[in-house]
Amino acid sequence: MDSYGIIGWPLGHTMSPTLHNWGFNQLGIDGKYQPYPVEPTGLASFMETVRSTPIQGLSVTIPHKQTVMAYLDHITDRAQAVGAVNTLYWDGDMLCGENTDVIGIIAPLNDLADLPQSAMVLGAGGAARAALAGFKELGIPRICISNRTEAKAAALADEFSVKVIPWEKRMDESPQLICNTTPLGMSGDFQSHTPWDASRFPEECVAYDIVYNPLRTRFLSEAEEAGCSTISGLEMFLHQGLAQFKLWTGQDMNPTAARQLLLDALR
């Protein structure tokens, strides 16, 4: 049986095992995907195990997305552009790193009738990096970033050649796409929060939330009420996972059935 899994620390609840083990089962693949809680100090020895066991594929999450890059034989252009890896896979005997978060960010935007011509990324953490790289890869001409701590937005703006908008002035802009990568709206302490005032959505904009729990965040509900299109964070999660599965097995999960699986797991 082939071994797959996710490395991170601490490893909180993740839907990745549900998705990938379902995929193996559906496609008759003899594989098992499991959580590997790996502390930062244990990464070097774990990476030796990945090569010696071998483990066929790994998802990588916080805090290893950047540090793991030192242990790889090849890093894709896309992962290099983001400066982070979320997927390890083998190409022959080369251990490679890819960033399917970017693929996940892009996938639902490809389904829109028209590509947005302007986009604002809210937040400046790892998810914001993936959003910036994705919007650049898609060719959105005008991209800006706004973050509570402006220095972090400025650093990313410099790296990705986009504009910075002060956090308190973000709603003076009228981007065609607003992408929330902050935890505002996430279940728990932030659930009643939103990064955008209900009365200030630009006309016909697309509201894209990276948060997927709850499925309908306050940001998305209010955007919908204001007449905007919405994209749930579940789409990004789904598509980053489908892309990982394809890299590992060469096969495609059925996206509609996989989406339903995740929806059922979240309800």
Residue carrying the six token digits 């955007």: 223
> Judged by CB under 6 A, how many residues of this single chain contact ligand ATR?
14
Q: How far is CA 99 from CA 3, 86, 188, 218, in A?
A: 20, 5, 28, 28
Site for ligand ATR in 47-86 (CB under 6 A): none
- Minimum CB distance to ligand ATR smaller for 50 or for 60: 60
Give least dist CB 164 to ligand ATR, A.
Answer: 13
- Are the CB atoms for 181 and 127 separated by under 8 Å? yes
Give least dist CB 91 to ligand ATR, A.
Answer: 27
Output DSSP code: residue 169: G
Helix (H, G, I), strand (E, B) or coil at 198: helix
Q: Cα 4 vs. chain centroid, distance in angstroms?
A: 19
Find the angle CA(105)-CA(70)-CA(73) to the nearest 5 degrees: 85
176 binds ligand ATR (CB under 6 A): no
* Only segment of 23-31, 88-96, 144-152, 240-248 that touches ligand ATR (CB under 6 A): 144-152
Strands (E), 11-65: 31-37, 57-60
- Minimum CB distance to ligand ATR smaller for 124 or for 223: 124
Q: In this structure, what are the phi and psi dihedrals at residue 46, rounded to the nearest 5 degrees?
A: -65, -40
Give least dist CB 211 to ligand ATR, A.
Answer: 10
Name the amino acid, one letter, at 60: V
Find the angle CA(134)-CA(190)-CA(65) to the nearest 5 degrees: 40
Give least dist CB 254 to ligand ATR, A.
Answer: 28
- Of 32, 65, 136, 152, which is the active-site residue? 65
Can 163 be counted among the known catalytic residues?
Answer: no
Q: Which of 32, 136, 142, 152 binds ligand ATR (CB under 6 A)?
A: 152
Q: Using N-to-C axis directions, what is the helix angle for 233-249 and 100-110, rounded to 10°?
A: 120
* Only segment of 175-183, 219-227, 241-249, 251-259 that touches ligand ATR (CB under 6 A): 175-183
Q: Which of 6, 124, 206, 228 binds ligand ATR (CB under 6 A)?
A: 124
Handedness of CA 89, 96, 62, 206 (dihedral sign): negative
Give least dist CB 121 to ligand ATR, A.
Answer: 10
187 binds ligand ATR (CB under 6 A): no
First to last CA, the chain: 31
Q: Which of 136, 142, 148, 246 binds ligand ATR (CB under 6 A)?
A: 148
* Only segment of 32-40, 117-125, 230-238, 256-264 that touches ligand ATR (CB under 6 A): 117-125
For 101-117, give the DSSP string.
HHHHHHHHHHTSSS--S
- Minimum CB distance to ligand ATR smaller for 170 or for 259: 170
Contacts with ligand ATR, residue ranges (CB under 6 A): 123-128, 147-149, 152, 181-184
Residues catalogued as catalytic: 65
